[in-house]
Amino acid sequence: MRWTWLALLPLTAGCDSLSIRDLMDHPTAVSRNVVELPGERCELGGRDVLVGTDDNRNGVLDDEEVTGSTLVCAISEAQMRVEQQPVPPGEKCPGGGWVTRAGYDFDEDGVLDMEEVAREVYSCRDIAEAQLLTRTRAATPSSRVCLEPTVLTVVEAGHDENGDEVLGDDEVRTRMDICVEASRLLVTRAWEPTCAAGGTRVSAGMDLDADGVLDDEEVLASNPICEDLNTFDGTFVIRGPVDLAVLKGISRIRGSLEVRTGTTPVSELRLTALEVVDGTLYVQDNASLTRLELPGLRFIGQGLSVLNNAALETVTVGGATGQSSWVGTNLEVAHNPRLQSLDGLQSVVPRGGVLIEDNARLAHTSEGLGLRAIQTLTGSLRIKDNPALALLPLPNLTSVAQSVLIENNARLTTLEGTRLEHIGKNLEVTNNPALRTLTGLAALHTIGVTLEVRLNAALVDSNGLGSLAQVESIFFSRNDALAWWGNMPRLQSLRGTLSLEAHARLVEVRGMESLRMLSWLSLYNNPALTTLTGLAGVERLTGLASEQNGALTSLADLKGLRTLESLMLLDNPLLTELGLPAVQQVSRYFSIQRNPQLPTCRVRAFGERVYTGPGNVYLVAGNDDAATCP
The CATH number given to whatever domain includes residue 493 is: 3.80.10
Strand, helix or coil for residue 27: coil
| Contact predicate 174/168, CB 8 Å | no
- What is the number of structural domains in the chain? 4
Averaged pLDDT score across all residues of the chain? 86
- pLDDT confidence of 139, banded at 50, 70, 90? confident
Mark which of 226, 243, 269 sits at the end of a domain: 226
d(CA 177, CA 138): 9
The residue among 614, 629, 621, 555 whose CA lies nearest residue 594 is 621
Is 112 a member of any domain? yes
- Among the residue ranges 191-205, 240-254, 277-291, 535-549, the one predicted with the least confidence is 191-205
Give CA torsion, residues 274, 275, 279, 285, to 10 deg: 40
Q: Which residues neighbour 52 within 8 Å (Cβ) at sequence distance 6 or greater?
A: 29, 30, 31, 61, 65, 66, 67, 68
Q: Does any domain span residue 337? A: no
SS3 for 109-142 is: CCCCCHHHEEEEEEEECCCCCCCEEEEEEECCCC
The fraction of the chain above a pLDDT of 90, given in percent, is 57
446 occurs within a structural domain: no
Q: Identify whether residues 68 and 139 lie together within a single domain.
A: no
**Cα angle 626-629-630, degrees, rounded to a multiple of 5:** 145
Are 64 and 194 contained in the same domain? no
518 in a structural domain: yes
Domain boundary among 175, 199, 226: 226
Residues 57 and 154 placed together within one structural domain of the fold: no
Whether residue 462 lies inside any domain: the answer is no
Residue by residue, DSSP assigns 399-410 as EESS-EEEE--T
Residue 453: beta bridge partners?
429, 476
> Running DSSP on this structure, what letter comes out for residue 464?
T
Longest pairwise C-alpha distance within the chain: 144
If one counts every other C-beta atom within 10 angstroms of the C-beta of residue 562, the result is 13
% helix, strand, coil for the chain, step of 5:
10, 35, 55
SS3 string, 495-558, reads: EEEEEEECCCCCCEEECCCCCCEEEEEEEECCCCCCECHHHCCCCEEEEEEEECCCCCCCCCCC
Contacts of 259 (CB under 8 A, 6+ apart): 238, 269, 281, 282, 283, 284, 286, 289, 292
Q: Say if residue 44 is in the same domain as residue 114.
A: no
Give the pairing type, strands 46-53 and 66-73: antiparallel
Positive or negative, the CA dihedral 549, 551, 556, 557 is negative
Higher-confidence residue of 490 and 20: namely 490
The span from the first CA to the last CA of the chain, in angstroms, equals 143
> pLDDT tens across 81-96, in order?
666 667 677 666 666 6
Residues 107 and 208 in one domain: no
154 vs 139: CA distance, rounded Å: 6
Q: What confidence tier does 13 reach under pLDDT thresholds 50, 70, 90?
A: very low
Containing domain of residue 31, as a range? Answer: 21-73
Q: Are residues 147 and 99 in the same domain?
A: no
The whole-angstrom distance between residue 599's C-alpha and the CA centroid of its chain comes to 57
Q: Percent of the chain at pLDDT above 70?
A: 80
> Is it the case that residue 420 has pLDDT exceeding 80?
yes
The predicted structure's pLDDT at residue 12: 46
Q: Give the residue from 536, 542, 598 showing the smallest Cα distance to 573.
A: 598
Q: Are 371 and 341 in contact (CB under 8 A)?
A: no
Please, which residues have CB within 8 angstroms of residue 595's CB and are 6 or more apart in sequence? 569, 570, 571, 572, 573, 575, 622, 623, 624
Q: Does residue 519 sit in the same domain as residue 606?
A: yes
**Range scoring the smallest mean pLDDT among 6-15, 112-121, 416-425, 446-455:** 6-15
If you average pLDDT over residues 454-483, what whole number do you get?
Answer: 97
Beta strand 331-334 pairing with 354-357: parallel
The answer, yes or no, to whether the previous bond of 27 is cis (omega within 30 of 0) is no
Asked if residue 609 and residue 572 are part of one domain, the reply reads yes
pLDDT at 58 over 80: no
Q: Of 205, 226, 247, which residue sits at a domain end? A: 226
Within-domain flag for 199: yes
Task: Please check the confidence at residue 196 and state whether its pLDDT lies above 60.
Answer: no
On whether both 85 and 55 belong to a single domain, the answer is no
Residue burial 506-533, b: 16+ Cβ < 10 Å; e: rest: bbbbbbbbebeebbbbbbbbbebbbebb
Same domain assignment for residues 53 and 195: no
Residue pair 513/532 in contact (Cβ under 8 Å)? The answer is: no
Give the pLDDT of residue 1.
40
Q: What is the DSSP string of 322-340?
A: SS-EEESS-EEEES-TT--
- Residue 511 in any domain: the answer is yes
Q: For the residues 134-142, what does the mean pLDDT come to? A: 76
* Pairing of β 618-621 and β 231-233: unpaired
In a domain, 276, yes or no: no
Average pLDDT for 508-522 = 96
Hey, how many other C-beta atoms are within 10 angstroms of the C-beta on 78?
8
Domain identity same for 105 and 141: no
Whether residue 111 is found in the same domain as residue 177: no
112 vs 584, more confident? 584
pLDDT recorded at residue 301? 93
**If you average pLDDT over each of 68-82, 112-126, 611-625, which comes out highest?**
611-625
* Residue-level pLDDT at 225: 74
CA neighbor of 353 nearest in space, from 394, 401, 285: 401
